[in-house]
Amino acid sequence: MSASTSTRESSPQPAIKPLSNRIVGLLGPAFVAAVAYVDPGNVAANITAGSTYGYLLTWVLVAASAMAVLIQYQSAKLGIVTGKSIPEYLGDTLPPTARRLYWFQAEIVAGATDLAEVIGGAIALHLLFDLPLVWGGVIVGAASMLFLVLKDRRGQKIFENAVIVFLTIIAVGFLAGLFVSPPAAHDVARGLIPTFQGQESVLVAASMLGATVMPHAIYLHSSLVGDRYGRDHSDASIRRLLHASKVDVVGALALAGVVNIGLLLLAASALRGADGTDTIEGAHAAVSSTFGTGIGLLFALGLLASSLASTSVGAYAGSEIMRGLLKFQVPLYVRRIITIIPAIVILGMGAEPTWALVISQVVLSFGIPMAIIPLTLLTRSNKVMGKWCDGRVVGALMAIVSVLIVALNLWLVVLTLQ
């Protein structure tokens, strides 16, 4: 549906679904997307950054979190105004070959996401119950399938409420240690100065960026608002929904940003130099040793909640990507079974799980431009967005964000090949 100004002004359409006049009744889609920003890949990347480089890369998380707020709002805006998600719009406009290639790279990114989430859940179950990693991965896959059934049978609002419960557990589990041993303010301030420390720090920074700005969440958010609010709105409804989305995105991404930064600060203040903190298991052992078994238990529970919620959201996103780009959709449970296989294979091969998580986040960082650049072009287009197209300031900010992310990825490639 084209969102031309003349069409909207001449024949405004009521919302398909009734909309509450209270902002709180419209919140939720951004919290589903925000789960992707606190998945186990974040845990691995941020703990690796903090335990290895201290506070050095704090600025990366602050910048990435600010970028995420802008990007997720723009995705929601596209879905609200046009009634289409990013994959749907590209599926309607790209030539067949380009559409399939675009879908292929998006699926690789979604697969890397799922790898991180399932492995993270397997690690959490190992920490909590001493389960073998392979069986932990199978259990996480089965549990996420049940979570997706909840969405199909009870609706998106119930799914959103369940996600918010998971987010609360995640925040408590990952931030509890900071209340026991808060970092020094002057150390945190030094970490806000942009700098790197060798090639490896760039690799870790790229993994942090890939873990914080999530391509599949960008695709999904534009679909979530359509599923929640309907896909055809009057100008008054669009204004109300855009205002609600600003509140939704800022609240959800602020929570995700606090969790991510808190993880890095925890590792920097309490885990730096401790043996084994380059792995999640080692970090858990160090947390338990430093803060006590209670905080260690909360950390493991936060990791499990992160995995269960994020892998469900990831499967949902992959389904929407396929539906929008290929005009074809497989049942979610079939997709869940297929996408869990790579993670189970890697766990069965005995690969070091934390390093596999970090590398998966680097793969994600290369998928970010493929999501951000089309979003930037679509939201600044008067033909697509009509009167709701981006102004000069927002358009410039989106362009700057796109250039920065692409430049960081190119820099990473050059350093890796040297």
Task: Quote the pLDDT of residue 244.
Answer: 92
pLDDT tops 70 at residue 11: no
CATH number at residue 239: 1.20.1740.10
Contacts of 380-383 with C-beta under 8 Å, sequence gap 24+, read: 383/2, 383/4
Task: Quote the pLDDT of residue 192.
Answer: 94
In a domain, 405, yes or no: yes
361 or 135: which leads in pLDDT? 135
Per-residue pLDDT, averaged over 313-333, amounts to 86
> Is there a contact between 338 and 141 (Cβ–Cβ < 8 Å)?
no
Length of the chain counted residue by residue: 418
Mind listing the pLDDT tens digit for each residue in 187-207?
A: 999 999 999 888 788 878 876
pLDDT tops 50 at residue 9: no
Task: Quote the pLDDT of residue 115.
Answer: 80
160 or 397: which leads in pLDDT? 397
How many Cβ atoms from other residues are within 10 Å of residue 243's Cβ? 12
pLDDT tops 90 at residue 20: no
Per-residue pLDDT, averaged over 71-91, amounts to 94
Of 76-85, 131-140, 150-159, 170-179, the range with the lowest mean pLDDT is 150-159
Task: Quote the pLDDT of residue 417.
Answer: 56
> Is there a contact between 87 and 324 (Cβ–Cβ < 8 Å)?
yes
Mind listing the pLDDT tens digit for each residue in 274-297?
A: 777 767 888 888 888 888 899 999
> Quick one: pLDDT band at residue 416, thresholds 50, 70, 90?
low
Maximum mean pLDDT: which of 138-147, 204-213, 257-266, 274-283: 257-266
CA 103 vs. chain centroid, Å, equals: 18
In a domain, 19, yes or no: no
> Is there a contact between 417 and 199 (Cβ–Cβ < 8 Å)?
no
Task: Quote the pLDDT of residue 203.
Answer: 78
Task: Quote the pLDDT of residue 398.
Answer: 92
* Nearest alpha-carbon partner for 256 in 143, 148, 174, 147: 174
Task: Quote the pLDDT of residue 333.
Answer: 74
First to last CA, the chain: 47
Tally of structural domains, the chain:
1
DSSP string of 8-22, one letter each residue? HHHS----SS---SS
User: Assign residue 198 a region: left if phi > 0, alpha if psi is -120 to 50, beta otherwise?
Assistant: left
In a domain, 401, yes or no: yes
The mean pLDDT value of the chain amounts to 84
In a domain, 7, yes or no: no
116 or 29: which leads in pLDDT? 29
Per-residue pLDDT, averaged over 43-59, amounts to 88
Cα–Cα distance for residue pair 282/286, rounded to 1 Å: 6
In a domain, 236, yes or no: yes
pLDDT tops 90 at residue 160: no
Task: Quote the pLDDT of residue 412.
Answer: 65
> Quick one: pLDDT band at residue 27, thresholds 50, 70, 90?
confident
Of 24-28, 303-307, 336-340, 402-406, the range with the lowest mean pLDDT is 24-28
Q: pTM value?
A: 0.86
Mind listing the pLDDT tens digit for each residue in 89-128?
A: 999 999 999 999 999 988 888 777 778 788 889 999 999 9
Residue 221: Cβ-neighbour burial (10 angstroms; 0-12, 13-18, 19+): buried
In a domain, 71, yes or no: yes
Task: Quote the pLDDT of residue 86.
Answer: 94
Task: Quote the pLDDT of residue 258.
Answer: 94
In a domain, 3, yes or no: no
In a domain, 229, yes or no: yes
Residue 226: give the domain boundaries: 25-417
12 or 109: which leads in pLDDT? 109
Task: Quote the pLDDT of residue 193.
Answer: 93
pLDDT cut 90: percent of the chain above it: 40
